[in-house]
Structures are given as C-alpha cells and as structure tokens.
Amino acid sequence: MKKIGLIGGLTYVSSLEYYRLLNELVNEKRGGSEAAEIIMYSVNFGEIRKLTEADDWNSLSAIMCNAARILESAGADCIMIGANTMHKIAGDVQASVSVPLIHVAEAVAKEIKKTKFV
C-alpha cells in the first residue's frame, strides 16, 4: 500500500476529516480492519491564518513546500493538502517534491466527468 503524506493543521478539524475519510475509503475498498498508511505533518494554523489574511502567499508557499518536503523525506508516496484554500499554491508544492501532489479540485473534476454529472 502506498503511503499518503497529508499536510494537516489547516485547521485540526479538516485534518480529522481527511484522516477519517481516507481511512474509511481504504477500509471500504480492502475490508476487514485495513487502514490507510498516512504520514501527517501538522502546520500551525494560527500562523497560516495570519499569512492568509495578510495575503502573503509567498510565505504560505514556503511553509507548505517545506511540509511537503518533510513528508516526502519521511517516505510519503504522494502528498495531499488538507484544505481547499491552500490549493491556490498547489503548483509550488508540486514543484518542491518529486512525488505526486493529489490536487483536490482536479480529483473532484475528474470524478464529475467520469460520472457524466455535467
């Protein structure tokens, strides 16, 4: 099973939700007591919030790219960002690591097209 690197802390509530959903999905697909292999790096949401309110995307990018590199170094086979807003800098994050970044908006769009919802 591949190890998922999850950048969390973008609030702890979204981190909990991502963790829960990933594990439920793995358990649903594999059955039994199977669970996802997740490595989580939790950033300080207080700092993230201040930088977001200040519209300081360069500093936000530096924090998120550093978190992604740490997750990759820890053995993550892919990276996920546990919040929608931070996907604004997804390109920067992807460029900072050699493993794939799973972009939430792209994954949702792909599923919508697959089901011919639109």
Q: Using one digit for the tens of pLDDT, what is the confidence trace for 86-101? A: 889 999 999 999 999 9
Q: CA gyration radius for the chain?
A: 15
Find the CATH number of the domain harbouring 63: 3.40.50.1860
Task: Say how far apart CA 77 and CA 92 lie, in whole Å.
Answer: 18
pLDDT at 85: 87
CB 82 within 8 A of CB 8: yes
Please answer whether residues 51 and 59 qualify as being in contact, where contact means their C-beta atoms are separated by less than 8 angstroms. Answer: yes
Domain count, the chain: 1
Q: Is 42 helix (H, G, I), strand (E, B) or coil?
A: strand
CA 8, CA 18: separation in Å to the nearest integer? 9
Q: Are 68 and 61 in contact (CB under 8 A)?
A: no
Alpha carbon separation from 110 to 29, 62, 107, 113 (Å, rounded): 19, 28, 5, 5
Instruction: Specify the pLDDT at position 43.
Output: 96
Print the domain residue range for 15. Answer: 3-114
Q: What is the pLDDT of residue 112?
A: 67
The pLDDT assigned to 105 comes to 64
* Intervals of the chain under pLDDT 50: none
pLDDT at 98: 98
pLDDT (0 to 100) of residue 115: 74
